Structures are given as C-alpha cells and as structure tokens.
C-alpha cells in the first residue's frame, strides 16, 4: 500500500541538525571512510612508531595518508560542514559547528605540514575522527527514527485493498479509491480498511492497536468501526464514513507526529544548554590555545591537538539527544496504549498533578440509561426482568431498550406477547398469556389505582432521591417489582478512581446533574468531593477554585461541553473521544473511553521525566569532566587525550544516552 501521505509526518523532528539526512546515508559514508582509514593508519608514521613496525614502501607511499585523509575529509566530513553552515546561517551554532571546526583545523594544519611546514600531521587523527563521528551519527539517527517508527507501523495497519460491494456482488479495489458512502465487505479475520458504520452483520473487533484496549469490542448494526482494526469471526458490511486524512488512524498519526515535533520545558532547557555549551567549548578551545602557547614550551602540533580534542569532546551531542529521544519513545509508547499526546507540555506536567477532576456524564458514566437495581416482594428478580423485557421488546423507547439489553446480558429468555401497545408518556402494556402486564412510572400507578407495598415504596423513594428513574412492573393489577435505571457507571471507573487515590491524587467529580445523582455516582465510585448542578460555562470556575490553593489540576472530560475547563486546567485530558481525535482543547486524548488511562498518563509522565533528568545529568556531567581532560590538565601526569580518543568518548556518551532512553520501552503502564 502507498502510505506516502502519512510518512511526511515523521521526517521532521526536533533533532534537526540532521535535517534531510537518514541513517543509510551515514551508514554508507561510514563504511567507505572506515575502509579508507585502515591504509591511513597503516602508513601513518606515528602509528608505525607506536606499534614498532615498518609499512611497505613504494614510490608515493608517503602520500597515502594525505591523499586518503583528504578524500575522507571531503567525502565523510562534508555532511558535517554543510550542517555547520546551516547552524551558522540560523545563528544557532551547535555540535556540527564544533565538529566542523575541529576537522577543518586538523585538515588545514595537516595539509600545511605535508607541504613543508615544520610539525607533525594529523592525518590519522583526522581520518579516525571523521569515521567515528559518522558511526556515532549513524547509530544516533537509527535510534531516533526507530523511536518514531510507530508512525510507519500505524500506516502499515491499513490493508492495500478492500472488497467493495457492488450491484453485481463484490470486487477488489485499492483502499485509496474508496469514497464516503461506499459499502465494503470485511470478512472474518480481515483488517477494516477505513472508518465506517456497520450496516449488516455482527462481530467482535480488535481495536487494541488504535485504542490500547485489549478486549475485543462487540460490533452490531449501526456500530462505528475504525480503519486499521482487525475483524473477528463475523462478516461485516460497512458503510464508509471517512477516508484518507479524515480517518481516525490519520488523526492519531498526526497527533503523534505533532507531539514529537513540539517541545517540552525540559527540551527547551536542554536546547538552551546545548547552545551555551557550544560557546563554552569555543572559549575552552581558545583558552587552551592561549594557555599552552604562552605558559609552556610545547610544540605547535601538541597545542593544536589539544584545541582539536577540546572542540571534539565538548560537542553537546549527548545533550542534544538526551531529551528528543526520550520524548520520541514516550510519545510512541503512549500511542500504543491509547494515550494520544497532542502537547508534550501536557505530558511533562502530568507528573505534578495534585487533583484529578472528572466530568461525570460520558466520562465516569456511559452517558446512557441502564438497569442498576431490581427490587421485588415475592417474585424472583430474573422473572420480573424477563417479563419486563418481553413487553419492552417491541418498544423503541431508550428505557425499554435498556431493560431489554440488561435482560440479554443475563441471557434471560423472553416470551411472545400479544396486543402490545405503547402508552404515551406513561409506559407500555401487553398480554402475557391471560394476564395484562403494564410497564411504567408513577403516573401509570395513579392511573391504574395500584398501591405499592411498604418495601417497594421505600426502595422507590430512595432511588428517586438518588436521581434514578423507577419503572414498575405490574401484573394483574399488582406491582411485582420495581426496576431502577440510571446513567450507567463505567465498570472501569471504580478502578480508575481507586488507582489515582492510591497514588496520592485528590479525585473530584463535576456534573450538571442534580445533587442526588451526583451523590449516588460519587458514593458508587468512592469519590468524596463533587460539584453538582454546574452549567458548562461555569465548569472552568470550578477548575480555578481547585487551583486557588496552588494545586495542579487535571480536568478529564469529553472535549465538547468541557472545553473551557479543559483549557483552564494545568493538564486537559479528553476521554471517550473514540474516533474523534481532533479535540483542540485537550493536551492529551484518550483514544478509548477508559478512565484508567489517566493513571497511565501520570505513570508515563513520571517515567519520561526521570529518563530526561538522567540523560541530562549524564550529558552535562560528561562535559564537565571531559573538557578539562581534553584541554590537557592531566598532561603533567603523563595522560593526554588524542582527538581520536576524544571522538570515541563523545560517541560513547551519546550511546549511553541512547541506551538509557531505550529502557523506557520496558515501562509497564498496566
């Protein structure tokens, strides 16, 4: 499949010193430079003296280091020179500037020595320096692109072809040719080609690669499906609703790419540190040259070697990689767990959250009526439910559907009823056998002059006070049971609240519903603090109130009515987004409707920040120790770093940072 429309998202990233580069280019340059470096080393007089051997001699053999060293400089070093030019043009001198200065000074001096200047050339140092730098950059870029590889993996989720339903049957067509309103047949085990709605069939669909939800989701007629999800054992006919860049998958990829291209506070600090370190390195190089020139009797070649080593070893390479690589990995890890980071600032701030404020409807609850309790006197609960479901089976009312759905979930058998009729505003009635059965509320009781038992009356009053809807089942003019309905609490919400409270977070709930409803839901979830009867335009005021004592607040809502509150909060988290990933008011979007994702965000935020700090500590600590060594402070002790060794140490520091960042992949978010 041609995924080119998506691939542009990952080409640009914060580690832009490599803009336009790729690992393969560095790989190719490294191997050729490496091959040329071997004869440079073999024919180098310094290496021969060091290891006590004599290289073969033939006419022109003395020029081998100079000729091959020059080729290495222009072939392997040109990439650094071009990048340095870009840095200087942008008035942002950095590591490429330092590398370029080092190899240019070494090259210029070696050329001069080769043509008669008194001193010792740097050809072998120059060759090894460029080769090691190419290796380090190859490994680094491979690490960065590997961290961002989730974008390519997401693009691969979509199949190349789809089975289009036509008047004459079906035919195989490219996915790119699909249009809105097309009908597509998705066979068992196949990948859903694009976003749509189920028109025919029933199946369980695995959406884990998009939502982070491992449990397959049951899809019925009118259910929404996401392109890239994997169909289960049932065949589905899907009406296409979104194509191309409008699909959920494309939206998720854009969010991931945007997050990887945005900068966190820590990233900004690291960039600034790398910028100033460049000037520190240049200053250290100048001071090194001045110090050895005026306060020692060392040769020009020794002094130049110290300057080059300082420039190389002080390259803020590890510092430049410390944060971008961690954030690339964490953003990818988040996406795999259904956490879509729109702003890195939001992810970084999540570790400091004190209060998590949940919207109720659609966030902690499903936003739809469901059976929460059944009270009877003498009859069995299942019998009452089966009777009610039998009557309501033909009704289109939301309450009727909720009763039927609940009965189905308990696998209860319904019976065929006769003479069904809907009673407008009151309920429904039908014949079951010879008995007339009524389903309805208090108005129907009054109309039929039916009295409640003390038990049922007490239960009904308590339910009403909690904001529940009470439906009575009446058979032969006797109330045999009461069914309580309410906005169904998500089964995951209790665990989400408990996990956050266990982590020391203060959990509160916000709703526009009555206090009775809010109190009941809060009690169900173990939330002690709630705000009820709050209008959408006043939700932001509640966030401000919680922030007034200095607390950091995360607002979790549906991203529509909660937009002002999401924006006001220190961290805005949109939940229940499903396929709607373009929620502008939230810094983080939960692809699934699972509120447990909030705890995952906090865990990931803390782990990400910890890795950033570790990498920054290593990168800055390395430079603090390495620069004085490169300048030659230990020369009196007989220990002197060569430019090549400096390059090795600089590359190793980068490797340490890259490896440490990779450990973040092992993080278990639960």
Per-residue burial over 166-198, b = 16 or more CB atoms within 10 Å of its CB, e = otherwise: eeeeeeebebbebeeebbbbbeeebbbbbbbeb
Tokens of 298: 């060392």
Helix (H, G, I), strand (E, B) or coil at 649: helix
Helix (H, G, I), strand (E, B) or coil at 166: strand
Backbone angles phi, psi at 125, to 5 degrees: -65, -40
What is the rounded CA–CA span in Å between residue 666 and residue 509?
A: 33
Tokens of 198: 């189920």
DSSP label at 363? I
Catalytic, out of 359, 513, 562, 594: 359
Sign of CA dihedral 102, 107, 110, 111: negative
Whether the CB-CB separation of 554 and 570 falls below 8 Å is answered with: yes
Our answer to whether residue 160 is catalytic in this structure is: no
Which residue from 637, 649, 644, 639 is spatially nearest to 47, judged by alpha carbons?
644
CB atoms within 10 A of CB 265: 14
Q: How many CA atoms lie less than 13 Å away from 159 in the CB half-sphere?
A: 23
User: Which stretches does DSSP call E strand in 227-364?
Assistant: 230-231, 236-240, 339-341, 355-359
Query: Residue 481, class by beta-carbon neighbours within 10 Å (0-12 exposed, 13-18 middle, 19+ buried)?
Result: buried
**Strands of the 571-574 sheet, one edge to the other:** 339-341, 588-590, 571-574, 553-557, 355-359, 506-510, 529-531
CB atoms within 10 A of CB 622: 23
CA distances from 534 to 493, 531, 539 (A): 21, 7, 6
What is the rounded CA–CA span in Å between residue 542 and residue 592?
A: 26
Which residues are known to be catalytic?
359
């Amino acid at each position: 499949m041609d995924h080119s429309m998506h691939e542009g998202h990952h080409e640009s990233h914060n580690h832009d010193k490599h803009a336009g580069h790729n690992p393969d280019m560095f790989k190719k340059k490294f191997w050729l430079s490496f091959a040329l470096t071997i004869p440079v080393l073999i024919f180098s007089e310094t290496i021969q003296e060091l290891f006590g051997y004599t290289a073969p001699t033939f006419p022109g053999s003395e020029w081998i280091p100079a000729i091959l060293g020059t080729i290495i400089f222009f072939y392997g070093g040109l990439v650094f020179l071009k990048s340095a030019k870009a840095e200087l043009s942008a008035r942002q001198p950095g590591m490429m500037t330092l590398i370029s200065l080092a190899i240019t000074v070494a090259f210029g001096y070696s050329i001069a020595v080769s043509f008669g200047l008194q001193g010792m050339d740097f050809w072998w140092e120059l060759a090894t320096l460029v080769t090691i730098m190419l290796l380090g950059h190859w490994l680094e870029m491979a690490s960065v692109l590997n961290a961002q590889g989730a974008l390519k993996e997401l693009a691969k989720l979509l199949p190349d072809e789809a089975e289009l339903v036509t008047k004459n049957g079906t035919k195989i067509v490219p996915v790119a040719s699909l249009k809105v309103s097309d009908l597509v047949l998705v066979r068992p085990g196949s990948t859903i080609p694009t976003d749509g709605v189920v028109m025919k069939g029933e199946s369980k669909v695995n959406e884990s690669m998009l939502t982070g939800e491992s449990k397959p989701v049951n899809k019925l007629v009118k259910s929404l499906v996401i392109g890239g999800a994997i169909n289960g054992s049932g065949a589905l006919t899907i009406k296409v609703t979104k194509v191309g860049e409008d699909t959920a998958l494309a939206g998720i990829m854009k969010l991931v790419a945007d997050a990887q291209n945005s900068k966190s506070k820590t990233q900004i600090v690291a960039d600034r540190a790398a910028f100033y370190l460049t000037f520190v390195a240049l200053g250290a190089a100048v001071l090194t040259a001045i110090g050895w020139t005026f306060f020692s009797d060392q040769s020009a070649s020794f002094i130049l070697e110290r300057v080059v080593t300082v420039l190389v070893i002080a390259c803020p390479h590890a510092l430049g990689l410390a944060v971008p690589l961690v954030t690339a990995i964490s953003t990818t890890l988040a996406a795999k767990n259904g956490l879509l980071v729109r702003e890195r600032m939001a992810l970084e701030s999540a570790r400091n959250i004190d209060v998590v404020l949940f919207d109720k409807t659609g966030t902690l609850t499903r936003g739809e009526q469901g059976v929460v309790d059944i009270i009877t006197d003498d009859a069995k609960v299942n019998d009452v439910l089966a009777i009610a479901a039998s009557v309501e089976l033909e009704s289109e009312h939301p309450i009727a559907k909720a009763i039927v759905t609940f009965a189905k979930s308990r696998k209860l058998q319904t019976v065929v009823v006769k003479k069904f009729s809907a009673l407008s505003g009151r309920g429904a009635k039908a014949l079951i056998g010879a008995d007339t059965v009524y389903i309805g509320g208090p108005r129907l009781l009054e109309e039929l002059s039916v009295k409640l038992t003390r038990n049922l009356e007490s239960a009904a009053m308590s339910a009403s006070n909690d904001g529940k809807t009470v439906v009575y089942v009446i058979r032969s003019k006797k109330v045999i049971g009461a069914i309580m309905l309410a906005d169904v609490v998500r089964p995951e919400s209790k665990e989400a609240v408990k996990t956050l409270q266990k982590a020391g977070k203060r959990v509160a709930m916000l709703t526009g519903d009555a206090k009775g409803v809010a109190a009941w839901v809060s009690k169900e979830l173990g939330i002690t603090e709630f705000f009820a009867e709050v209008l959408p335009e006043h939700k932001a005021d509640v966030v401000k109130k919680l922030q007034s004592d200095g607390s950091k607040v995360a607002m979790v809502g549906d991203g529509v009515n909660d937009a002002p509150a999401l924006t006001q909060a220190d961290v805005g988290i949109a939940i229940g987004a499903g396929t709607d990933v373009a929620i502008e008011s939230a810094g983080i979007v939960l692809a699934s409707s699972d509120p447990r994702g909030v705890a995952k965000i906090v865990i990931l935020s803390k782990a990400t920040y910890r890795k950033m700090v570790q990498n920054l500590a290593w990168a800055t600590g390395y430079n603090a120790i390495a620069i004085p060594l490169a300048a030659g402070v230990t020369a009196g002790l007989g220990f002197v770093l060569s430019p090549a060794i400096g390059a090795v140490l600089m590359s190793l520091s980068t490797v340490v940072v890259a490896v440490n960042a990779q450990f973040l992949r092992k993080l278990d978010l639960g």
